[in-house]
Structure 1
Amino acid sequence: MHAMQYEVTLPADYDPDVIRARVARLGHLLDGWDGLGFKAYLLRERGVHGSPVNQYAPFYLWNTVEGMNRFLWGGAFQGIVDDFGRPAVRQWTGLAYAEGTPGAAAASAAFAVRRRQPVPDGAELTTLMEEAAGEVRRLAGEDGAVLAAAAVDPHRWELVHFSLWEHDAPKAEGDVFQVLHLSAPGRDRLPRGRQW
């Protein structure tokens, strides 16, 4: 499992309905993308849920590197580059994944929470990664959780926790995003539990 995200930070006076219309028009194009676990089309609006910025920031979990590479180098990503410039694409190696409670897992996601945190120097890596996997299990078990995941970037030594929620009161800490669309062709094939 591979996690990926890019952020397009927009001007303070940018109309977020432009992004909503874009996702409504194009979001379905990845609904059947081979190798994709899911893509959450995410939006933060300045002043909403504490966001200091307007930002379009899709988050992906990939089942295969080939699917991710086909997206980045095969032409689909070029639409973002053409419309907004080339954003930095962050990638993390998967640590753990869990589906939410049965009722919520079938629900459509309304909100997402992403929390990035540095891996402290001197941290015992096995313990820290086990704790991250435990946090995934805890979040997935919360009322309203659709799914939860954790991943790590061992170059920057950064952990990312990501979760989807069916309501606007997520039980996770971090940046809160509205989910505009969820393309999930391979969600059922994402490996469950810890990834090592």
Structure 2
Amino acid sequence: MIAMQYSFTLPADYDMSIIDRRIRDKGPLLDNFPNLRLKAYLTARTGDEETASRENLYAPFYVWDQEEGLNDFVCGPGFAAVSASFGRPQVKTWIVWQAAISPDVRAARFATREITDIGRHEPLADIRTHESEAVARDIDTDGALASVAAFEPTSWTYVRFKLRKTLPETGLGGRVEAYRVGHLSLPGGP
């Protein structure tokens, strides 16, 4: 599996209802897309107290079962259209260690993403084990509706992505970005 995210930073005075409308109209087009396990259409807005974003963002997050799905999407008309509208983004990708999706995932209204540097001498196998076990705990006890742990060996970082019904009350911390979920594309349709 491969996780992928790109992000568009939009001006502070940008009318985010344009993005909301785009998600509403275009989001269902990726329902049942081949090799797509999950696409979360994510936004963040300046002034949103819950997500505490300093920027207006459109930042979809994907989990692909096979690289063919990623290739078909990035080389296809949907990605060409978003690139034509906002410019071709830098696409971050991670190799998935573990992903879990609850049957209740459609209730997700928020997402969090945390990217952590992997220390030069940290045993990668230990991080993989810890993060893979954390994914199950996220679903079982942390209230996550989906959880993904993955790593990127060029920059030596790992990511933890969660879909949630509500954001944690204890605060998000400095490395955690929070988003609102506008739509989820999953196998099996809406």
> When the two structures are superposed, what TM-score results if normalisation uses the length of structure 2?
0.90
C-alpha distance in 2, partners of 1:156/1:164? 24
Tell me, in whole angstroms, the C-alpha distance in 2 between the residues paired with 1:118 and 1:25.
Answer: 36
1:45-194 correspondence to structure 2 within 5 Å:
45-48=45-48, 49-100=51-102, 105=104, 107-142=106-141, 144-169=143-168, 173=172, 174-185=176-187
- Compute the displacement of 1:143 (Å): 5.1
Residue number in structure 2 paired with 1:22: 22
TM-fit CA distance, 1:77: 0.5
Distance in 2 (alpha carbons) for counterparts of 1:169 and 1:54: 21
8 Å CA contact retained: 2:105, 2:163: no
Secondary structure at 1:76 match in 2: helix
Contact 1:112/1:178 (CA < 8 Å) preserved in 2?
yes
User: For structure 2, which runs of at least 5 residues remain unmatched after alignment?
Assistant: none
Q: Which runs of 5+ in 1 are unaligned?
A: 188-196
Q: Is the 8 A contact 2:148 2:161 kept in 1?
A: yes
1:190 is aligned to: none
1:168 and 1:122, CA in 2 relative to 1: closer, same or farther beyond 3 A?
closer
Identity of aligned residues (%): 38
Give the drift of 1:45: 0.6
Check whether the contact 1:63–1:186 (CA below 8 A) recurs between aligned residues.
no
**1:16-42 CA distances to partner (integer Å, 9 max, x unpaired)?**
111001111111100121110010000
User: Taking structure 1 as reference, are residues 179 and 171 closer, same or farther at Cα in structure 2, changes over 3 Å only?
Assistant: farther
Q: What SS class does the counterpart of residue 136 from structure 2 fall into?
A: helix
Relative to the length of structure 1, the TM-score reads 0.88
Equivalent residue for 2:41?
Answer: 41
1:72-95 deviations in Å (ceiling 9; x for gaps):
012220011100001001100001
**Residue identity in the other structure for 1:13:** D
- Please give the alpha-carbon distance, in whole angstroms, between the structure 2 residues aligned to 1:46 and 1:91: 26
Give the 4+ runs in structure 1 shifted more than 3 A. Answer: 168-173
**Are the equivalent residues in 1 in contact too, given 2:36–2:64 (CA < 8 A)?**
yes
Contact 2:105 2:146 in 1 (8 A): no
